[in-house]
Structure 1
């Protein structure tokens, strides 16, 4: 996350507060789009996915047929891009994945197919407003609206029941995930490198300020679903203490995954990451 200017810091403690400005500066880093959608035929509403080289697709064109893409509209008037990855015909769960701040669906597509195949889950994801080919601008309010629209699309378009949905948030995506999970009971929740709140990322403060952004620490206690927290102990973007605090506030926490030596963007490279997710899906949720 980016640092703040003197003006932004002043806005934290002076009137009027500017949480939206602070949020956009510290949290959102939309990359250059790595994909596009095109109609499969003239006048058709069905879309096909085209990936650029920057997406670094790791599979064949045949495996790309597992991916369905489309647009949906949010209650704030933005059109966001969505992706459904059919990883397994036997999948019990579908993961609604909210990705990190410097990626888009193109970047994540290979990871989604690989992860879902290995843990026997389908994966549904979306791009935040202003990311990829989604319209609008990234903001805290849009973030919550975006995940709500994704949830609605997953429920209505694919008919997936809440008890079969696992909400997965990574980094800034945990703010969206916590907000949604605090309002709906789902199969489970995974919080990967979660932040307590925006100001807590920037300053060593123990309270939630009235102008704070992404106050997940105040919402996570409302989650009634099982929650798995994952965090690297050497995270220099969102300190490890955030994961600890979020875990402690959960009503139904499962054994967390603290990855020794991992930073903010490399947790997935450690073998215990995949092992813990398999255990979570196959054992923890079955008990």
Structure 2
């Protein structure tokens, strides 16, 4: 039944038989047959279907919660058995907000040094996408904001608090400044992350608090793109200090602290709440706590 439940989870996420089948690497008729077999086994209709996917029935929504729980438990069982045979091994998938990728690299380096038989996949995603991917079992953990998104039943381990820097080149009037106020940036040509990123919503909030409006001439989901444009044009960008320093190394750029009534949101590791966690996730959470301690 586990394979049928995984089909059901994929269909509920993709909301399209063809796309769900493609994700699972099976044919659409195989998926349709699997869902029908699951309905027969449970004795209820899970999906409204006509010529295309029509959504989940009320019973389907209830079954989805059980499906996620059962599939998650089955994967944890496999992980536990693999651990008894081989120690920590296998694949660990972590989704990361774009501004935390340097912290993800630090965490993965520490983790891999101690657990060389675990393969890591790091994916850059928005905070909302990360929570959805954890819920749908697409990733094992995430690095995201702990203050500004509903984290629900998740285990969390704080890593750091964001502090913002203005990134500018020598042509900027702010290049020689020791600090810049948010209000001073009104009307400036800014390169910022796209609005679906929580970092952008936080920055917009700072501007609102200062009675100003950001003028984003360039928007991207990549911090690399933002800094590259600052280096080569007359734009400015605002980024958390750690990734700003990393991306500005070796470039004729300056980081200027933002002054004013600043909020410093907490970013941390999140994982599905389970007692106990899989050995791999327990190790990752432990390394996250150690990284936060040494970085204070």
Q: Which bracket does the TM-score occupy, shorter chain normalised?
A: under 0.3
**Higher RCO (C-alpha 8 Å, min separation 6):** 2
Q: Please state which structure has a larger fraction of its residues in strand.
A: 2
Q: Which has the larger radius of gyration?
A: 2
TM-score, normalization by structure 1: 0.27
Q: Please state which structure has a larger fraction of its residues in helix.
A: 2
